[in-house]
């Protein structure tokens, strides 16, 4: 756990106290840790302290359900809670899967992507059997896609072949502005909302809202696997927002 989602939201992860670590260890109320961000969503920040939390929870009772217990305390305050998982299948990821209703899996259109996906799907299946019977795979999101490369197209085709309609229409292309945004401490919609990366994620948001039945979504233009032709109209800066919180790993 590195707290990248916290930094990308413009929050100093080193100064974020209390944070997800204290919440998981029950050393601070979750309400005291949640902060509002410039991007318009609330955040439960995280940083490297979460590594210590993972170690301390090793022998704890119901250690896989700590996050679920804390999020339940929030009631119906948020329409959507996004849990950013670390790139591992350790205890923090199990906590996220135990707490979630569904999983959105980003898949880089690169070599070895399918092998890692298989491991994750096996973990989802195990969590569904033992911890969270309602857990579903909401969709697979193709990321870092370059339509000009044979590899990218091959991986995309294999995903569609094996997973069918679980593969989302939205595609996130390789985009310089997406790569730059975290170093500026801003989400892409604040760093460059006209960029292809921002527009791709706007399209994803619309697709997920429709898919999950959360209400009418703004028309974000046609979904496309052609990273050079993705088009959509960004929403006005004062557009109403769905109450949302992000949990950072």
Give residue-wise pLDDT tens across range 97-147. 999 999 999 999 988 888 889 889 999 999 999 999 999 999 999 999 998
Give residue-wise pLDDT tens across range 224-245. 434 333 344 444 444 444 578 8
> What local confidence, expressed as pLDDT, does residue 233 receive?
42
Sheet of 167-173: strands edge to edge?
A: 102-108, 136-145, 167-173
Residue 123's SS3 state is: helix
Give residue-wise pLDDT tens across range 200-213. 999 999 999 998 88
Cβ proximity of 43 and 209 under 8 Å: no
| Domains of the chain, first to last | 4-247 (3.40.50.300)
Q: How far is CA 5 from the centre of its chain?
A: 9
For 48, 127, 149, 201, 244, the CA distances from 241, given in Å and listed in that order, are: 30, 32, 37, 15, 8
**pLDDT tier for residue 26 given thresholds of 50, 70 and 90:** very high
Comparing 243 with 166, which gets the higher pLDDT? 166
Comparing 225 with 26, which gets the higher pLDDT? 26
- Does residue 18 have a cis peptide bond before it, meaning omega lies within 30 degrees of 0? yes
Residue 107's nearest CA partner among 52, 144, 68, 150 is: 144
Between 19-23, 60-64, 223-227, the lowest mean confidence (pLDDT) is in 223-227
Give residue-wise pLDDT tens across range 32-50. 999 999 888 999 999 888 8
Mean pLDDT of the chain: 86
CB atoms within 10 A of CB 221: 14
Phi then psi dihedrals of residue 107, to 5 deg = -125, 115
Distance CA(172)–CA(224), nearest Å, equals 10
* Beta strands 80-83 and 244-247, pairing class: parallel
């Amino acid at each position: 756990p590195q707290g990248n989602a916290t930094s990308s939201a413009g929050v100093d992860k080193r100064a974020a106290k209390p944070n997800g670590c204290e919440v998981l260890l029950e050393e601070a109320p979750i309400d005291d840790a949640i902060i509002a961000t410039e991007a318009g969503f609330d955040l439960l920040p995280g940083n490297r302290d979460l590594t210590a939390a993972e170690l301390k929870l090793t022998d704890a009772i119901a250690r896989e359900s700590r996050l679920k217990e804390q999020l339940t305390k929030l009631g119906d305050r948020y329409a959507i809670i996004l849990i950013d998982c670390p790139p591992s299948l350790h205890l923090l990821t199990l906590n996220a899967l135990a707490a979630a209703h569904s999983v959105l899996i980003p898949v880089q259109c690169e070599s070895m992507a399918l092998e890692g996906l298989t491991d994750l799907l096996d973990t989802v299946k195990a969590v569904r059997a033992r911890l969270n019977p309602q857990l579903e795979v909401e969709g697979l999101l193709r990321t870092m896609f370059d339509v000009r490369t044979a590899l990218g197209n091959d991986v995309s085709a294999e995903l569609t072949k094996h997973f069918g309609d679980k593969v989302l229409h939205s595609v996130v292309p390789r985009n310089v502005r997406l790569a730059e945004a975290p170093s500026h401490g801003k989400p892409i919609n604040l760093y460059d909302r006209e960029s292809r990366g921002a527009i791709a994620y706007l399209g994803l948001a619309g697709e997920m809202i429709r898919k999950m039945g959360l209400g009418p979504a703004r028309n974000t233009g046609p979904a496309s696997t052609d990273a050079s032709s993705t088009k959509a109209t960004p929403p006005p800066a004062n557009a109403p927002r769905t109450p949302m919180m992000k949990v950072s790993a």
